[in-house]
A = this chain, B = another copy of it.
Amino acid sequence: MNARLDSPEMPVPDARAEAAARARQQQLTKPPGSLGRLEELACWFAGRLGSSTPQISRSEIFVFAADHGVAARGVSAFPQSVTAQMLGNFASGGAAINVLASLEGCRIEVVDVGVAGDPELPRGVRNERVRPGTRDLFSEAAMTDEELTAALGVGERCAREAVQRGAQLLIAGDMGIANTTAAACLICAFTGAPPEQVVGRGTGVDDVGLARKREVVAGALARARAATGVAVSGAALSGAALSGVAVSGAHGSATDRTGAARQLFAHLGGLEIAAMAGLYTEAARNAVPVLLDGYISAAAALAAVRLEPGTLPWMLASHRSAEAGHSAALQALGLAPLVDLGMRLGEGSGAALTLPIIKAALALHRNMATFAQAGVDGGAPAGAT
């Protein structure tokens, strides 16, 4: 199924439920505002789940794995074979995201969108291979338009199935050696930030590797620009400005802008990143919020918003990655992460880690007594700000 273009019917959050939640927060037995971002979270989810007292009973995690042709250029500290090996680790429950999903009682599904070498799939890993890894984005387009559509479609199908199971919050994670290189290209292309700001050490390349990675990203951006005729803006963007304006050379209709974004995504992206973007977009179409993870997730989120701006209101940022450049991506999206714990693992681990904070915020909102119920003087104390 094709990724749909800017759809006028994209759902918007329920402003009435959000306002009702804000009013309730003022009546709970605490000084107004004293729960800080937990109060904002409760109101945000009220709008997204369409209830003044929202509850998340079911959240699901998808880990999308794929390889990257650019790995051959020595941009990662780990060999490409680790992507396939990690599929086995996910399947047997030994990876970080397995541990976190188990703690939170989340369904987790591992999806092979295109691991190199077509290895035998471990039991329990879903086969959605589009191709055995992307082409080398430094020298040619990583994907054809058809391959991009197929990879987006993988994420879209996963999202739809989760929605049908009753999921109220979706997390997409990634596994793919060298995917911080592809993500850096996308973040540069979709925010206009320079490679020096966006390219980091990924799994841990040394200084020589980092310099090489920056050269690869800069070269890929120049190549994609020449091949597509699409230039990227040099200006950082606010969240409000995300509806395609950074992609110059495509000032025309929404369809033109989306087309330009698709070209850049196919040239510079990864199969798993496209699946994540497809999941984000389809979740939004179904009025289901998504909890972003780290650096790779931010690249997918930027791409999703370029393809379909109405996706943005359904996105929540979980954590700030230690990977250089994640901040630039979050800033362009206009999203502030909940925590900053120096994590840079991917897999959805940062998002899964913050789930209990979100659940706690909603439980406080639902279960705390009001001033009236508790017989406590308050609600509008003299001098309270």
Contact = CB atoms under 8 A, between A and B. Distances in A.
A382 B77 contact: yes
Nearest to A31: B203
Interface string A69-85: 00000000111011001
A226 interface: no
A36 interface: yes
Contact of A78 (B89, B356, B377): B377
A277 to B, nearest CB: 23
A369 interface: yes
Nearest to A78: B381
Interface residues of A, number: 68
A382 to B, nearest CB: 7
Interface string A16-42: 000000000000111111111110000
Task: Name A's interface SS.
Answer: loop
Interface string A100-132: 101100000000000000000000000000000
Contacts of A340: 340
A340 to B, nearest CB: 8
A384 B96 contact: no
Interface in A326-378: 338-345, 349, 353, 356-357, 359-360, 363-364, 367-369, 373-378
A240 to B, nearest CB: 23
Interface stretch (A53-61, A204-212, A258-266): A204-212
A28 B86 CA distance: 12
Interface string A193-210: 000000001111110110
Contacts of A209: 383
Contact of A77 (B28, B339, B374, B383): B383
Contact of A30 (B100, B345, B382): B345
A238 interface: no
A88 interface: yes
Identical copies in the complex: 2
A363 B377 CA distance: 42
A229 interface: no
Nearest to A339: B339
Contact of A345 (B35, B81, B88, B100): B35
A254 to B, nearest CB: 37
A10 interface: no
A363 B89 contact: no
Nearest to A323: B34
A375 B206 contact: no
* Smallest CB-CB A-B distances: 5 pairs: A94-B369, A36-B342, A356-B356, A31-B203, A204-B384
28 contacts: A29-B94, A29-B95, A30-B95, A31-B77, A31-B203, A32-B204, A34-B203, A34-B343, A35-B345, A36-B341, A36-B344, A37-B343, A85-B375, A88-B374, A88-B376, A89-B376, A95-B368, A99-B360, A99-B367, A99-B368, A100-B364, A103-B360, A203-B381, A203-B384, A204-B385, A341-B357, A356-B360, A357-B357
